[in-house]
Amino acid sequence: MAVIDLGYRFHPEHEGHLWVNPEPERGDIHGWDFVEDDETLEYNGPLEDSQYMRDHHAFIVGEVISVAPNCPIMALRVGYERQESWAEAINYAVEKGANILIIPHGVLTVDPEDGHTPLFYRGTDFTYPVERRDVHEALDKAYLSGCLTFMGTADNRGRRVAAAFPALDSVIAVGSTNREGKPADIACSSEYTEVAAPGGQRSSPEPHDHVWSTGGANNFVPMDGGCMAAGFAGAVAALVWSRFPNLENNQIRQVLRNTARGKGWNPYLGHGILDAYRAVRLTDDELTQKIKVKPRSAALKGVGDNLLLEVDVENVGVFDVERALVVAYNGDPLKPADRRGNMKRPVILKTRQVGHTIVKVSGFESAKSWIGLTESGPLRELYVQAFPLDLGAPLNVDTVRIPTRSLKDRSGAGTTERLNNQYGH
């Protein structure tokens, strides 16, 4: 785990939790200061050396310790006054073996006049920091190297706004919740919010409505913000990854997203609030892609001269199925339609495909599929078969009989027969 922030100070609660470099080359025992190019790590820059600057980095480290206490934490300092420091810190973390990167503060376009003050603080809203192509490349490299990177969605002003780097495919953007499990007053709305974690309710006078952690002066302090949410999210990822060490980063990402507590996706909380307890309790049977047809959902609909079969397909595994093939048959596809046929004298098809479609089904979710039927005549026996097409997908095939009686009134009251596919289950 690497926490990449603006300046770290040691807290006694961090004892024994910091990463120890097995081969330090220049004093980089627990991390490195990429602004001063030394091992000091403490903030020393043009901004006021305030309590915020003293506490923030240590705060995130404390969050990680509270959730994943056995995860060694690498402290890396970056700063706006030395723009190269961000990419250098990311690359260093990857090189030294970090699996998870937490970057609480945003990488922002700076004022060209002084070279360190973000335009955001001089009245210009978030822009893509075009001078920071190196950061974009470093984040992509980290993900392709097997890492996960966590950032807050944007600022802490409770508005709809986009920031460039959290929106990258290589970054997990984390929304902020309050103690009631709702979007915090600081939470931003964005189209790329993936999951959510506690960020604190800034306007509340109640102490317990804020996030508390270790400060940088042997103290404990409250804070609120997307930074706090990103810290918790990265820590949950560390906990889950320690439970399932053989999973790849994209699989851990799906576990986090698909076990989150939420109903659908929304721009404040993404797919929901991270649920560490549910994630670490996944069984081997759930750590897969597994497609099931829901026969009681089936319905026939006429659209003009076309007949559509509507049927829901469920993924009872945690991993997303990007492409599931759903095929409709007139007849049982797993039994011979006429045993008199052979290779020399084949029988004209009696069991026929009558349509198919391809759908995406996220982990632990259902997707509605629409199959345009190619035959308008009577359906002798209607069957639906579904299976994943993804590269490396397990051979899970589900074949279901749907009596046509249950299709007429959409009641789903007819009996169905689930077939045991000997080559699939």
pLDDT in tens, 163-186: 999 999 999 999 999 999 999 999
Whether 166 and 173 have beta carbons less than 8 Å apart is answered as: yes
Whether 84 and 135 have beta carbons less than 8 Å apart is answered as: no
Over residues 353-395, the pLDDT tens digits come to: 999 999 999 999 999 999 999 987 677 789 999 999 999 999 9
Token output for 279: 């994630």
Vertex 136: Cα angle to 130 and 139 (nearest 5): 160
Give dist(CA 68, CA 61) in Å, integer.
10
Sheet of 306-315, strand order: 291-303, 306-315, 366-372
Residue 421's pLDDT is 37
Q: Where are the alpha helices (DSSP H) in 215-248?
A: 226-243
Whether 256 and 238 have beta carbons less than 8 Å apart is answered as: no
Q: Phi and psi dihedrals of 387, rounded to 5? A: -160, 155
The full set of domains in the chain, from first to last, is 2-280 (3.40.50.200), 291-419 (2.60.40)
Whether 156 and 225 have beta carbons less than 8 Å apart is answered as: yes
Give mean pLDDT, residues 86-108: 97
Residue 410 has pLDDT above 90, yes or no: no
Give mean pLDDT, residues 138-154: 97
Token output for 117: 């003050």
Over residues 177-214, the pLDDT tens digits come to: 999 999 999 999 999 999 999 999 999 999 999 999 99
Check residue 165 and report its DSSP letter. Answer: G
Residue 130 has pLDDT above 90, yes or no: no
